[in-house]
Amino acid sequence: MKTPSSSPRPGRPRDPATARALLSAALYVLEHEGYEGFTIEAVAKRAGSSKVTIYRRWPSAAALLLAALAQHGAETVPASSTGPLERDLRKFFRVAFHQLNGRLGILLRSLMAEAQGSEEFRKSFRDEFIAQRRASLGTVLLAARARGELAAGTNLELLLDFLFGAMWYRLLVAHAPLDARFIDALVDLARRYR
């Protein structure tokens, strides 16, 4: 039987500023050390924090990395749904391609490779990073459908698969560039998909 003195006490509430600092440090380490150099120790040192503080929030380096990437994506890739669809798509892909043509693209290829060898990581990668990006672009497509720019019966999940599938294929295989001409093709695909 538990007595009041043996009951666990709630800990100190987590400071959101600490989480932001840790995620910022994680992105810094990732950008400067790459995927291979990304460690909890390096993030803790950069943030002036302890490994224990990090592990209280994220169970692994992979979980921290995905949280940092998800925050970065939410802050930097716009999900403007003000219309028209063409302008919203161009804005979304222009920012995304700018990032994917840099160090982030190299990192995402590494993460996708790791996701093929680990079911647990694949689920985390899909649920914590990919789902967020799909939801962001899904908002753009939903708004376009509501404005009548896409037919009422448009299968938005399949359209998202086409758009992201084409982008990921070019990122992973690198047979053609992620450039303005490709954005034109993606916008054209979305407009024709009715």
Q: How far apart are CA 142 and CA 134, in angstroms?
A: 12
Q: Please report whether residue 155 resides in a domain.
A: yes
The pLDDT, as a whole number, for residue 78 is 64
Q: How far apart are CA 174 and CA 107, in angstroms?
A: 14
Cβ-contact 160, 134 below 8 angstroms = yes
Q: Which of 8-12, 24-28, 112-116, 162-166 has the lowest mean pLDDT?
A: 8-12
**For the chain, what is the domain count?**
2
Q: Are residues 21 and 113 in the same domain?
A: no
Cβ-contact 176, 97 below 8 angstroms = no
Q: Decide which of 82 and 41 is more confident.
A: 41
Q: Are residues 148 and 86 in the same domain?
A: yes
Q: Are residues 95 and 139 in the same domain?
A: yes
pTM of the model: 0.79
Q: How far is CA 170 from CA 22, 68, 97, in A?
A: 32, 24, 11
What are phi and psi for residue 68, nearest 5 degrees? -65, -45
Q: What is the DSSP secondary-structure string of 123-145?
A: HHIIIIIIHHHHHHHHHHHHHHH
Residue 172 pLDDT greater than 50, yes or no: yes
**Number of other CB atoms surrounding residue 18 within 10 Å:** 15
**What is the percent of the chain with per-residue pLDDT over 90, rounded to a whole number?**
61
Residue 5 pLDDT greater than 60, yes or no: no
CATH number of the domain enclosing 39: 1.10.10.60
The pLDDT, as a whole number, for residue 97 is 96
What number of CA atoms fall less than 13 Å from residue 177's CA on the CB side? 8
Quote the domain boundaries for residue 40.
Answer: 16-64
Residue 161 pLDDT greater than 70, yes or no: yes
Q: Please report whether residue 40 resides in a domain.
A: yes
Q: Please report whether residue 37 resides in a domain.
A: yes
Tell me which of 6, 34, 64 is where a domain ends. Answer: 64
Q: Are residues 112 and 37 in the same domain?
A: no
CATH number of the domain enclosing 112: 1.10.357.10
